[in-house]
Amino acid sequence: MAYCGNIRQEGCGKLERREKYRLFLYVLLIGSITALFICWMILIWEKIPGAIHIRAGIRQDLDLNVPVSGKLYKAPAETEDGAIPVTGMNAAVDARETKTLSVDLAEPLTLYAEDIETYTMDLKLFGLIPFKTVNVQVINDKTLIPAGIPIGIYVKTEGILVIATGDFTGDDGQAKEPVGHLLKEGDYILKVNGREVEGKAAFMRQIEESNGEELVLTILREDQEFDLKVRPERNQDGEYKLGIWIRDNAQGVGTLTYLDENNSFGALGHGINDMDTATLMNLKNGSLYTTEIVSITKGENGTPGELTGVIDYKESNKMGTIEANTVEGIFGELNESAASHITTQAMPIGLKQEVDLGPAQILCSVGGAPQLYDVKITSVHLDHDNINRGIELQITDKTLLETTGGIVQGMSGSPIIQDGKLIGAVTHVLVQDPTRGFGIFIENMLLQ
């Protein structure tokens, strides 16, 4: 025990400072170890897919090499049927003999199931700490025709999308804001006085012809539908307005990803979002049209490039109908004429756990017929929060780099092919480096 008298106060002060410094180092060390452990757990979490799909009737390897183990069982667990037969490196377990199987993802596993079913895998870190629940779904094996052709897109919204609200100067010189805080960007106006709106132009006429009478608008906001009352007011020109900016359609150029045996298609690999609100557009109907790429703006660091296409929206140029606009892409059906012009051979799909780092190809058209271009898969995120960015890739093909500078707008939906399998579609470009970008796993497009 240190003595702190008058003579030894200076030495005692140094001792106290040394003890505080030592305590600080201990806290810093514990904090650093905790932070590293949390980061390590996050990496382990992202290496384990939240959902795993396997093909019925085919043995498939799963090699995640993570320190988790747990139980695999048919959902719900009380069913009398067995779980998926699981084999390790040296042993096999017959699922007919047990309802629940032990699994250890630190070792390679082989999964096998005959029937289309859903199973559950409850996992624990180090076999002790509850960690993650994985949905295991058995699906039919599937072959698709990779397309890679440019498409012209036109979609009509279900109702009218509000992209902004504001005030205007009324006929009395005062600021007017009829909707005030009633409407907000991202709202859809579905009906006026109980009647469905027929489009942007018709809605604007209804407002102008209201003579300032109260209107009842049916609004869709975040999947909730409700009515509200508004009263248009006159602007300086004597026209009745609500003080909103609206949109009822969108158009652009993209790439067709795949076609199946029934002429059903998937494209883009991401949804069509409104350019102002960034929300997924609520689709009423839409069409695909033939398009011709007429110019290419090369991508540069900080500036994305673009494929510019000419689209003639006449009936004879219509390729098919768009039936769904989802986070995973746009989906619908091609007509027979358009489908007959896609001559690439069908190929099997590659599931996310089968995607490897290294060489791959993308199929796209930057003028003329679709061609294969070399890319490199640089990272695979089996459980990425953003499903449109499960695959990271880099363009390595010299011809494509010379032509486009890398990934450009309009290439979204370009099929990604590896080892003779369709594994995904290009979705985004990294703006700071157009040679790099992202893709979605094909299974996510198929299971939307």
Domain match, 191 and 270 both: no
192 touches 253 (CB < 8 A): no
Average pLDDT over residues 165-187: 90
| Residue 322 within a domain | yes
- We report the CATH number of the domain holding residue 211 as 2.30.42.10
**CATH (domain of 82):** 2.60.40
pLDDT band at residue 9 using 50, 70 and 90 as cut-offs: low
SS3 helix, strand, coil % of the chain, rounded to 5?
15, 45, 35
pLDDT in tens, 20-51: 778 888 888 888 898 898 888 888 888 888 88
Mean pLDDT computed over 263-281: 91
| CA geometry: angle 253, 259, 261, nearest 5 deg | 160
212-222: pLDDT as tens digits: 999 999 999 98
Q: Is the domain of 180 the same as that of 197?
A: yes
Q: Do 223 and 266 belong together in one domain? A: no
Amino acid at 378: T
**Rounded CA gap, 339 and 352, in Å?**
27
- CATH number of the domain encompassing residue 313: 2.40.10.120
What does the alpha-carbon distance between residue 431 and residue 401 come to, in Å, rounded to a whole number? 15
- Which domain does 131 fall in, by range? 51-141
Looking at the domain assignment, is residue 11 inside a domain?
Answer: no
Residue 99 lies in a domain: yes
Q: What is the average per-residue pLDDT within 96-116?
A: 79
> Which residues are known catalytic residues?
270, 397, 412
Q: Are residues 398 and 276 in the same domain?
A: yes
Shared domain for 238 and 109, answered yes or no, is no
Average per-residue pLDDT for the chain: 87
pLDDT band with cut points at 50, 70 and 90 for residue 2: very low
Give the CA distances from residue 139 to residues 116, 223, 278, 446, in Å, rounded to whole numbers and listed in that order.
6, 30, 33, 11
Which of 207, 227, 242 lies at the terminal end of a domain, its last residue? 242
- The two structure tokens encoding residue 283: 């689709």
Q: Are residues 414 and 358 part of one domain?
A: yes
- Two tokens at 295? 């110019």
User: Is there a single domain that holds both residue 97 and residue 192?
Assistant: no
Inside any domain, residue 191: yes
- Classify residue 27: in a domain, yes or no: no
Which of residues 242, 264, 286 is at a domain's end? 242
DSSP state of 262: T
DSSP characters over 123-175: EEETTTEEEEEEEEEEE---EEEE---EEEEEEEEEEEEEEEE--EEBTTSSE
**pLDDT at site 11:** 61
Tell whether 426 is covered by a domain: yes
Number of separate domains in the chain: 3
φ/ψ of residue 404, rounded to 5: -115, -15
pLDDT band at 183 (very low <50, low <70, confident <90, very high): very high
Q: What is the pLDDT of residue 290?
A: 93
For residue 15, tell me if it sits in a domain.
no
**Selection from 349, 368, 346 nearest residue 416 by Cα:** 349
The helix/strand/coil state of 261 is coil
Residues 335 and 430 in one domain: yes
Q: Which of 4-18, 245-259, 430-444 has the lowest mean pLDDT?
A: 4-18
Look at residue 12 in the predicted model and tell me its pLDDT: 64
Q: Is the pLDDT of residue 329 over 90?
A: yes
Residues 294 and 348 in one domain: yes
Euclidean distance between CA atoms 241 and 204, whole angstroms: 8
The verdict on 337 and 422 lying in the same domain is yes
Of the candidate ranges 128-132, 161-165, 337-341, 381-385, the one whose mean pLDDT is the lowest:
381-385
pLDDT, mean of residues 65-75: 86
Same domain, yes or no: 135 and 152: no
Final residue in a domain of this structure, among 196, 218, 242: 242
Say yes or no: 281 and 429 in one domain. yes
pLDDT value at residue 358: 97
Residue 39 forms part of a structural domain = no
Contact 269, 262 (CB under 8 A): no
